[in-house]
Structure 1
C-alpha cells in the first residue's frame, strides 16, 4: 500500500485541506473506537461500578453530603436516601444498545486528548511559529479541564440529579422505576455537559486571539454571564436552588479565570504588535 504523502501546508489547495480534514476525522474516530473497545470489554466495571454507582445509597457523594450536613447541624436527606427502585429494560435491544452507546461515550472521554491533538494538528499549519510551541500546553490544559469537568459531573451533578429525581414524590400511587435508557441518559448528559462547560477558559482564549473577546467586555457582561450560567446549571441539574448553586460556583470561577486569561493574551498581543512596529 502506498504511503499518503504529506502535503506542503504552504502550497495546499482547498481539496488538499479537505483531504487533510478527512484524515483528521478518521484518526479521531479510530481513537474513539479504540477507547470504546476498551470500555466494551470492561463491561462490569463501566456499568456495575461507574454507571450504577450513583443509584446506591452508600455512594461516596451521598456520604460526603451527609457528613457535611451534620457538620453544619442539618440532617440531610443524603444520609438515608430512599433508593428503592429498579432500572428496567423495556425493549428487546435495550441492553445491547446501552452497551454499545455507553462504550462509545466512554471511548470519547478516554480519547479526548487524542481528538484534541488531531484538531490541533489540522489547524497548526496556519499558526505562527511562536503559537505552535504552545500546542503541548494547549492539549494538556484542555484535557485536564475536560477530565476535571467529567469528574465533577460524575461525583456532583449526576448523583444529585439521580437523588432528586428518584426521591421526588408525586403520589403514593406512582412508583419511580426508570428505564435503562433514561437513567444512562441522565448520567451521560451530566458528565459530558460538565466536561464541556469546563472548557470555558480555552474557548475564551481563542475568542480573545481572534478579537471576539476582551477582558473589558467580559467584565462588563459579567451579569449576563451569571444569568447564562444559572440557566445552564438549571438545565443540567435537578430543579432545586442548592444543586444549581453548587454547579454555578465552579463555572463562575472559571469565568473569572477566563477574564484573567483574556487579559494576559491581550497584553501579549499588544506587546508583539509594539515590537513589530518599533524600528
Structure 2
C-alpha cells in the first residue's frame, strides 16, 4: 500500500478506538457508583468505610475519571485487535495464525494482572500506607486520590503481566537470542527493580516489592516456556539464535 493509504488505515483504526472509548465512557459514567463500590471494597476496612470528596466538582470529576479509565481497561481487547490488525497485512500467512492467540493471551494476561493486583496488592499496600499515616496523624480518606492510586496500580500490574509475551516473541523470533537473556540476567534484574520502583504510583515499598517479585517470576516463567518451545521447534541450536527465524521453510510452504 502507498504511504497515504497506510496513514488512512491508521486514521480509520484510531477513529474506531477513540469512538469506542467515548461510547464506553458514557456508559460507565452512569455505572460509576457501582464501579466505585467495587474499587473501594478492598480499601474500606482500613478507613472504617469512610471516604470523602474534597470539592464541589469532585463527584463529577471522579465519576468521569473512573468511567474513562474503566472504559480504557474494558476496551483493551479491541485496542489490541486494532493494533494487530494494522500490522496484519505485513505478515506472512504462516505468521498470521499467531495473531488470534496473541490477542487472546495478551488480553488474558492484562486482566489477570489487574485482578491479581486488586486481590493481593491493593489490600496490603493501602493497609501499610494508612498505618503509616495514622502513626503521625489521622488518615483523611480522599476518595479521588485513593481510587486514582488503585486504578493506576491495577493498570500497572496488567501491563507488567504482558512481560512473558514480550520476552517470548523477542526470543522465538531471534530478535534477542535466548542465551542473551540468560547471560544478561544481572542487568535485567536491576532494570526490573528500577521499573518496579518507577511504575508504582504510590512510592510504597510494599507494592514495589510485590511488583518486583511479580516481574522476576513472570520473566523466569517466560524464559522457561520460551526454552521449551524453541527446543521443540528448532533444537538446542535455536537457543543461540543461529536460525534465521522462528518459522521454517516448511511453514512457508504450508
Whether TM exceeds 0.5 here: the answer is yes
Q: Distance in 1 between matches of 2:134 and 2:191?
A: 30
> Offset of 1:273 from its aligned partner?
5.2
Find the partner of 1:183 among 146, 151, 176. 146
Say whether 1:207 aligns with 2:170.
yes
Give the match for residue 214 of structure 2. Answer: 250
> Offset of 1:93 from its aligned partner?
1.8
Give the match for residue 192 of structure 1. Answer: 155
> Offset of 1:114 from its aligned partner?
0.9
Say whether 1:54 aligns with 2:17.
no
Q: Distance in 2 between matches of 1:170 and 1:232?
A: 29
Q: Describe the SS at the equivalent of 1:149.
A: helix
> Offset of 1:227 from its aligned partner?
2.3
Q: Is the 8 A contact 1:153 1:194 kept in 2?
A: yes
TM-score (norm 2): 0.82
Say whether 1:165 aligns with 2:153.
no
Say whether 1:91 aligns with 2:55.
yes
Say whether 1:43 aligns with 2:24.
no
TM-score (norm 1): 0.75
Q: Number of residues paired by the alignment?
A: 238
Q: Is the 8 A contact 1:213 1:262 kept in 2?
A: no
Q: Is the 8 A contact 1:149 1:194 kept in 2?
A: yes
Q: Is the 8 A contact 2:43 2:122 kept in 1?
A: no
Q: Is the 8 A contact 1:85 1:177 kept in 2?
A: no
Could you tell which deviates more after superposition, 192-201 or 34-43? Answer: 34-43
Say whether 1:219 aligns with 2:195.
no
Aligned CA RMSD, in angstroms, stands at: 2.7
Alignment of 1:1-279 (within 5 A): 12-48=1-37, 50-57=38-45, 81=46, 83-84=47-48, 86-169=50-133, 172=136, 174-208=137-171, 211-235=174-198, 236=200, 239-240=204-205, 243-263=207-227, 264=229, 270=243, 272=247
Q: Describe the SS at the equivalent of 2:138.
A: coil
Q: 1:231 to 1:178 in 2, by over 3 A?
A: farther
Q: Is the 8 A contact 2:168 2:223 kept in 1?
A: no
Q: Describe the SS at the equivalent of 1:168.
A: helix
> Offset of 1:84 from its aligned partner?
4.5
Q: Distance in 2 between matches of 1:190 and 1:177?
A: 20
Q: Describe the SS at the equivalent of 2:21.
A: helix
> Offset of 1:46 from its aligned partner?
0.2
> Offset of 1:95 from its aligned partner?
1.2
Q: Distance in 2 between matches of 1:275 and 1:111?
A: 37
> Offset of 1:243 from its aligned partner?
4.7
Q: Is the 8 A contact 1:158 1:186 kept in 2?
A: no
Q: Distance in 2 between matches of 1:176 and 1:186?
A: 15
Q: Is the 8 A contact 2:44 2:50 kept in 1?
A: no
Bigger radius of gyration: 1
